[in-house]
A and B are shown apart, each in its own frame.
Chain A
Amino acid sequence: MNLHEYQAKDLFRAAGMAVNPGEVAESPERARELAEGYGGRAVVKAQVHSGGRGKAGGVKLARSPADAEKHAEAILGMSISGLVVHRVLVSPIEEIESEAYIGVLIDREHQRPVLMVSAEGGVDIEEVAADNPEAIHRLRVDPRYGLLPHQAYGLATRLYDEPKLASQGARAIAQLYQAFVDNGASMAEINPLIATSAGQVVAIDAKVSIDDSELFRHPELAALRDPTTETAADRRAREAGLSFVKLGGNVGCCVNGAGLAMATMDLVKFYGGEPANFLDIGGSSNPDKVVAALEIITSDPGVRVILFNIFGGITRCDDVANGIVQAVERIGFELPLVIRLTGTNEEPARRILSGAGLAAAASMDEVVEKAVQLAAG
């Protein structure tokens, strides 16, 4: 789950980090008031889950409160990468002497957190990694001991020559790592971490993603979910415990297991069709999940055919068949259904389906090809 910049900054402040002040405004008038409070000059930043906010016109410098109001007016309601901006963060302008990058994420290959720092901050770190990889310094943290003080300091000396700045940088790196661990993050970064002309190291921008699997032990973070970033279908899927991704084609897919669900989408493409979605009903045998899945798929007006691909293991085919029949009765949709059910309890599942006038095939290629034809016809 991604956090907004202002939410991420609150986590870093709680970890003791020096963070550029700021408050959120949902109206141009409020942005004006906040800018007045900061002495007139302020930066107005769109709060959306998207990179490239600056390039999209979502970050503006205001020279006066009236300017801040005007910028907020322009930014609120604008769309960045398809996401509508509902809030702006208004902050005082800092005098920037230098910009660095500090971040931490999970190194999958080495199975531990990795800290990355670069003196080339303020730009896209992926570009630095591509163009000038030696400008990024990495440290894999041993989870048995956590980040040790000399390690944080060693990284900070890569960012700052001035001893006072290096010791502030070391503190910021240690606080970043602590916030990452304490909040169950999968990624946390500050870009840029600036040194001001007054010799202070301050976080200017912040990005944090929380590991979804940690939310059960962090209700305070789960409460930060921004409902405006979710579509109705996404929300329905999350509440029903389904993995769902809308893709935009016309073949609605309902599959058990993430790997098989991806392979099913790929096969739809292989036969010349376009999958409408990725949807994994998971390993459970609960017919209600199937009903929820069908409600989500049929709520997409682009869908012209619904394809089921179920390989029963833990999932019992008869439970899925019951879910399909219940859903057809409850929702009453007209779309054609193409069903493949195989594995555990395949035979009773076929009887349930045929009792409701539905047929099931056994081969994956056969049903996918048929679904693609129906969607095209």
Chain B
Amino acid sequence: MSIFVDEKSRVLVQGITGRDGSFHARQMISYGTRIVAGVTPGKGGRDFAGPGGEVVPVFDTVADAVAETGADCSVVYVPPAFAAGAVMEAADAGIDFIVCVTEGVPVLDMTRTHAFVQDRGCRLVGPNCPGIISPGKTSLGIIPGSIVARGPVGVISRSGTLTYEAVRQLTERGLGQSSCIGIGGDPLIGTSFVECLAAFSEDPETEAVVLIGEIGGTAEQEAAAWIGEHLEVPAIGFIAGRSAPPGTRMGHAGAIISGSSGTAEVKTRAFEDNGVRVAMRPREISSLVRELIGG
């Protein structure tokens, strides 16, 4: 199985006529994602052409797209100034699951957006995230389909390319994935490690979970506590930023050590105290998974 999305997900792309949106819409169609609609205000009525001649209708509003196509998921590729508005538009139109890829969304915009999305019972992943891929079923976002394979490992990460690094190693060693989800590198994100863990723990196909965290905030500590209490399958962790100086933002807006709570040491200890095996290098992630679930 997989978490959150599968081959039945009917996906629309917000910002489908833009540079990033059009490129990734085609990539997703190639992967097999059911892209049923695109939305770009002012470009409604046009058709978007997929790589194999597929025709995707473009609408002015998400509400129109949902009414016409029954879309239930959305991927947002619109510029930072409009991203929060696009997410709220999707939630208002009844979309259940939204991935926001956009980087650089103002944090205060996200405080309002989270409240709005939660009030409508909708799940947001991101912003500033690579999205989710359920190998062999569907992909929402930008994770390259070429590096994944179907299998028993669930992957949750705050990063993009570091996730690809870990996932490709898993795939090369014959350890496929049930779903891989990038939850985002911003200080405020829609879906937490804990919510992803809860979803994976309900998935009978997931036999191990990999968590790729980094410095800043307390999300890994909260995940570790949840794992210690609830998770029945083995968990493997990695923390990026061991060598980062305190008080300095390391690329991701959320990757900053403030005080003593966000350090790699604190996070590693929280993992270890709750039975999570911690890889000290990216290449050890796949070795630990193999050790814990055999195969």
A186 sits at the interface (CB 8 A): yes
Contact with A along B142-168 (1 / 0, CB 8 A): 111001000000000111111111001
Q: Are A247 and B251 in contact (CB under 8 A)?
A: no
Contact with B along A313-349 (1 / 0, CB 8 A): 1110000000000000000000000000011100000
Closest Cβ of chain B to A53, distance in Å, is 16
Q: Spot the interface stretch: A27-35, A88-96, A190-198, A251-259.
A: A251-259
Which listed residue, A113, A278, A312, touches B251 by the CB 8 Å rule? A278
Q: Are B244 and A262 in contact (CB under 8 A)?
A: yes
Contact status of A247 and B245, CB under 8 A, knowing A106-B187, A108-B188:
yes
A62 sits at the interface (CB 8 A): no
| CB closest residue in chain B, given A314 | B142
Contact with B along A208-226 (1 / 0, CB 8 A): 0001111011000000000
Q: Are A259 and B160 in contact (CB under 8 A)?
A: yes
Contact with B along A226-246 (1 / 0, CB 8 A): 000000000000000001010
| CB closest residue in chain A, given B187 | A108
Which listed residue, B107, B159, B215, B217, touches A260 by the CB 8 Å rule? B159
Q: Kindly state the separation between the CA atoms of A245 and B243 in the bound complex, as whole angstroms.
A: 12
Contact with A along B87-116 (1 / 0, CB 8 A): 000000000000000011111101110111
The range of chain A's interface size is 35 or more
Q: Kindly state the separation between the CA atoms of A173 and B71 in the bound complex, as whole angstroms.
A: 45
Q: Are A213 and B105 in contact (CB under 8 A)?
A: yes
User: In the complex, how many residue pairs between chain A and chain B have their CB atoms under 8 Å apart?
Assistant: 163
B204 sits at the interface (CB 8 A): no
| CB closest residue in chain B, given A242 | B251
Q: Are B243 and A313 in contact (CB under 8 A)?
A: no
Q: Kindly state the separation between the CA atoms of A275 and B162 in the bound complex, as whole angstroms.
A: 18
B15 sits at the interface (CB 8 A): no
Residues of A within 8 Å of B215, CB to CB, are: 262
B212 sits at the interface (CB 8 A): yes
Q: Are A259 and B107 in contact (CB under 8 A)?
A: no
Which listed residue, A181, A270, A280, A313, touches B280 by the CB 8 Å rule? A270
Q: Are A184 and B244 in contact (CB under 8 A)?
A: no
| CB closest residue in chain B, given A344 | B144
Shortest 9 CB-CB distances between A and B: which pairs? A259-B159, A258-B251, A257-B161, A259-B162, A243-B251, A262-B240, A260-B161, A143-B111, A262-B241
